[in-house]
Amino acid sequence: MKNTLLLAFVFILVSCSDNSIAFKVGKKINSITPIEERTLEPTGTLFGSFLDGVWGINCIVDDSLAILSLRNADDFCFRALSLYDYRYLDFLAKGRGPGEVIAAFFSTKKTEKDRTFLDITAINERLLLSIDLNETLNEGYAIITETDELVYGSMFSFHVRDKILSEVVNDEDIYSMKIYEKDGEVVRIDQIYGDKEYLAAYQPLFNSTRMIKPDGSKLSLSMFYFDEINIYDIEGDNHLTISTSQRLNDGTTIKDAISHGRMGDHYYYLDQDVTDESIFALYYDCEVSESSERSSSTIHVFSWDGQLKAVYHIDEPLIDIAITDDESTLYGITAEEILYRYDL
């Protein structure tokens, strides 16, 4: 999946008044009524050998190419699949040397001068690789155009304008986000939550997904066990929490979960994808014990200022989603390796 790893934040929440957002500690936006709510029917279904071993769908490029992460492949980490003729190319070799990885995580895509680049975190090499997708498709192997060294303990990392944003997990930092110059000079550190004793014991608690807004200004974060979406200004102090819950006292907070030594019994947000205008979040809201028996899905669509724009009900049990840049088409994949298309 595009973003399933460990992370937790001390929540700084928001309140809303007169259509403007005032950021205050201890408040959050409770978005209950969507502007639009409807059921989506698939307008296309793909399955076949080109989806064998696929774990998730990372992004859609130019409305014609799906970037998929591979689960069972022996030699490569990613697959570029044409949505027109279903030809595909596997790229980024598995290994231990420069340009090869034993643990790679897709971070984000960016477009510059009509070219698309993928930022990928190579944890074993402690590097952030920028891959020119256009040249990769032309040459038939990964063309790495930029290689930046990451700080010790970096997990998911992103190029953000001229800096690097890294999620850091180690004995010194525990859980934190660091923004630093490419020469390694740290320009901002946000300590997150936890003491050393929690690092191993509560890893499942912090399973999360995170996405960068295409203009590099905001980070969207969600966690499996918490019924909310968190939005952070990357180089500012504004933090926004959105919840669609209508239940009183719903959702265990991180602080409560750690102090009581327990996780929640529900899965909430499993995956998300973002555009300049919106956050598309795959919502479970089911008991953990029943997650493998799901028969449908729900998509919540938020604006970056916390408004619930739409709720889409889907009859297929998706595990991963991706949206086109113009928000005209949603793609989702199931655990059975079936790729669905929905026209919005």
Q: Where are the domains positioned within the chain?
A: 5-343
| CATH homologous superfamily of 5-343 | TolB, C-terminal domain (2.120.10.30)
What type of residue is 173? D
Joined together, the tokens standing for residue 260 give: 């009581």
Q: Which of 142-156, 179-193, 199-213 has the highest mean pLDDT?
A: 142-156
pLDDT at residue number 7: 30
What is the mean predicted confidence (pLDDT) over 40-49? 94
State residue 67's pLDDT score: 94
pLDDT in tens, 62-116: 888 999 999 876 788 899 999 999 999 999 888 877 777 877 778 788 888 788 9
Query: What is the reported pTM?
Result: 0.85
Q: Could you tell me if 222 and 206 are in contact, meaning their C-beta atoms sit under 8 angstroms apart?
A: no
Task: Give the pLDDT score at 228.
Answer: 84
d(CA 100, CA 305): 39
75: left (phi over 0), alpha (psi -120 to 50) or beta: alpha
Tens of pLDDT, residue by residue over 138-154, are 999 899 999 999 988 88
- The predicted pLDDT at position 9 comes to 27
Mean pLDDT score, 172-177: 64
Residue 305 · residue 246 · CB < 8 Å: no
Provide the pLDDT for residue 333. Answer: 95
Instruction: Give the whole-angstrom CA distance, residue 235 versus residue 330.
Output: 30
